[in-house]
Amino acid sequence: MANKGGNVGEEKSLGRVQLLTESGELILVPKPSNDPNDPLNWSTPFKYYVAIVTCYGMLLCAFLAAGPTVAIIQIAKDFGGGPTADLAVLIPEVSFFFTTTALTLGPGTLLWQPLINKYGRRPIYIISSTGFLITAVWSGLSTRYASELVARILMGFFSGAGDCLGPAIITDVFFLHERATAVAMYYFAAVSGTSFGTIVSGIITRNNSWRTIYWTGASMIGFLIILIIFTIPETAYNRSYDDNDEGPVLEDEKNPYRLSTGLPSKKRSYWRTISLSTGERYTQDSLWKMFTRPFGLILLPPVLWATLVKSVLVGSGMALLSACELLLWKIVYHFTPFQAGLGFFGGLVDTKLILMAVPAGGPVGEAVANYFTVRNRGIREPEHRLPAIAISVITAPLGLVLYGAGLQYKFHFMVPIVGLGLVSFSTGQGINISFVYTLDAYGPVKGEVVITQLAFTSIIGFGLSATTNSWIARDGELVALGEMAAITAFFLLLAIPMFFWGARLRRWSLGWRAVKFIQWEEN
């Protein structure tokens, strides 16, 4: 049976939380109010519905970011004048459509996150999804290179809001002990979205133009917007109160964080919950302070480490492999675009590896953290999650080596497919562990922590994808991906010192003069 409060506040101790009582009972963190409009008080099925819709939105971002790459030759011929087009020149130019989308996705979050923090999730979700829909239609209609490039750049900007909103919404509606599974679902959607998009795009291009990929994506985005408008209430909630306070929060008339309506705890009507905005402000920080804070957060060792882990896993698993996927499959195995698209089943369902990333990153990670929490007399430290990343330490480098060896030595095509599956699994599992670790460690600024990782990951990922072809051409598939495997293993293995000394690093680094400007208000 769970208790409705605790003696140690999540936001006052840099992630150190009392999650269990001395008798072993679970303590709910953060402390829910008695307000029926509090997202923490929503029913569990509805919470997971909100998470599923959010994951669907993330899947669509990945779908249109990577899906059309399977038709890169068709697109190059379309923009280059037909069958006589010089593909050696045009393919690198057309690939720029997709690398720039990845580049603008991350830095765009630097602008979205302050707005999400200040004005709530719902208005930004609706606005950004509408912009995403417009750019999807625009990309399908464009006939000039410059127009298509601008559309793809703006697509990255608008879809970047989804990357911010997913973790924010999950932490809004789930308690601390529930978040790992929900975040694992979110990253499963992000990783499988690339595979799903490539498979679907390959099927579409069998009998249709590449532009049909965008019409399909636009219809799916339109459905998402309908779901958001009519079924997803605002999940942000003014929860800036002391967990030690007795009695319902709303009964204190002097509390500045009571609901802006000033009404007692009554449930809002359906039509009020689907209004564009609640009219509330969810933080007292300025937009400028929230915009600049990520540039200080990246200097904190736990955030820097988690960002590097995400960068190498995304870079090797998505940007690196996707950049050379079609050409290598076409050259080595003489696959058509449709067959190359089916090759991404390795990233989606190959031996169910990526499906296993959800429990391996969520319930398994939570079980590991609970084990160390019990050993620590019920006190949860964010570092308690880190040992679970040992799985990815093995699977990520192994998958990269299998993929490179399979292509270079022309092994049976199932060898690189298994490698792709292992890398996809590692991306979902490893990122989930490192990401939830930072959310636990820096709860009061979790939004800025999210965009710090997104912004810097996209920049590093852009660099990796831009150099992939020349790297492989110079060193060969096995050497290039073997080097990437070594780099990946190195950063994942840094979880060992982070486990033993991460808590000290967190407390020590906040005193650095270079990061003084990121300090947040303690409540």
**For residues 317-344, average pLDDT:** 59
228 and 132 assigned to the same domain: yes
| pLDDT > 90: percent of the chain | 25
State the average pLDDT for the chain: 79
pLDDT digits (tens, 9 = 90+) for 125-183: 999 999 999 999 999 999 898 999 999 999 999 998 888 888 889 989 998 778 878 87
Q: Which of 20-34, 63-77, 212-226 has the lowest mean pLDDT?
A: 20-34
Q: How confident is the model at residue 6 (pLDDT cuts 50, 70, 90)?
A: very low
Q: Which of 56-65, 201-210, 310-319, 338-347 has the lowest mean pLDDT?
A: 338-347
Residue-level pLDDT at 140: 94
Q: How confident is the model at residue 19 (pLDDT cuts 50, 70, 90)?
A: low
User: CB–CB of 17/443 below 8 Å?
Assistant: no
Q: Is this structure's pTM higher than 0.85?
A: no
Question: Tokens for 439?
Answer: 């959310």
Distances (CA, A) of 94 to 19, 153, 185, 215, 328: 51, 13, 32, 19, 17
Cα–Cα distance, 1 to 389 (Å, whole number): 30
**For residues 192-217, average pLDDT:** 86
324 and 472 assigned to the same domain: yes
> What is the CATH classification number for the domain harbouring 84?
1.20.1250.20
| pLDDT > 70: percent of the chain | 77
Residue-level pLDDT at 242: 44
The stretches of 67-120 forming alpha helices (DSSP H) are: 72-80, 87-119
Question: Does residue 270 sit within a domain?
Answer: no
Question: Does residue 257 sit within a domain?
Answer: no
- Nearest by Cα to 343 from 311, 321, 372: 321
Residue-level pLDDT at 263: 43
228 and 323 assigned to the same domain: no
Q: Apex CA 336: angle with CA 397 and CA 69, to 5°?
A: 60
pLDDT digits (tens, 9 = 90+) for 416-455: 878 877 887 888 788 888 988 998 888 777 777 877 887 8
Question: Does residue 221 sit within a domain?
Answer: yes
349 and 232 assigned to the same domain: no
**For residues 485-497, average pLDDT:** 94
Question: Does residue 397 sit within a domain?
Answer: yes
pLDDT digits (tens, 9 = 90+) for 63-113: 898 788 888 888 888 887 666 666 667 777 787 788 788 778 877 888 898
Q: Which of 127-136, 292-301, 349-358, 495-504 has the lowest mean pLDDT?
A: 349-358
Query: What is the distance of C-alpha 349 from the center of its chain?
Result: 20
Cα–Cα distance, 139 to 155 (Å, whole number): 9
Cα–Cα distance, 444 to 13 (Å, whole number): 10
212 and 352 assigned to the same domain: no
Residue-level pLDDT at 7: 32
Q: How confident is the model at residue 267 (pLDDT cuts 50, 70, 90)?
A: confident
Domain boundary among 220, 237, 254: 237
Residue-level pLDDT at 474: 81
Is pLDDT of 32 > 70?
A: yes
345 and 216 assigned to the same domain: no
Which range of 183-187, 274-278, 283-287, 504-508 scores highest in mean pLDDT? It is 504-508
The stretches of 208-300 forming alpha helices (DSSP H) are: 211-231, 270-273, 287-297
309 and 180 assigned to the same domain: no
Question: Does residue 499 sit within a domain?
Answer: yes
309 and 227 assigned to the same domain: no
Question: Does residue 406 sit within a domain?
Answer: yes
Q: Which residues of 200-223 are buried (b: 16+ CB within 10 A; e: fewer)?
A: bbbbbbeeeebbebbbbbbebbee
> What is the CATH classification number for the domain harbouring 290?
1.20.1250
pLDDT digits (tens, 9 = 90+) for 40-49: 889 999 999 9
396 and 327 assigned to the same domain: yes
**For residues 357-380, average pLDDT:** 77
Question: Does residue 242 sit within a domain?
Answer: no
Residue-level pLDDT at 225: 96
Domain boundary among 237, 270, 297: 237
User: CB–CB of 58/170 below 8 Å?
Assistant: no
**For residues 324-353, average pLDDT:** 57
Question: Does residue 320 sit within a domain?
Answer: yes
Domain boundary among 237, 264, 296: 237
Residue-level pLDDT at 248: 46
Q: How many domains does the chain have?
A: 2
85 and 161 assigned to the same domain: yes
Is pLDDT of 252 > 80?
A: no
188 and 331 assigned to the same domain: no
Residue-level pLDDT at 349: 46
382 and 497 assigned to the same domain: yes
Determine the structural domain holding residue 157 and report its residue range.
38-237
Is pLDDT of 283 > 80?
A: yes
Q: Tokens 């050259």 identify what position?
A: 331
Residue-level pLDDT at 259: 36
Question: Tokens for 291?
Answer: 């915009």
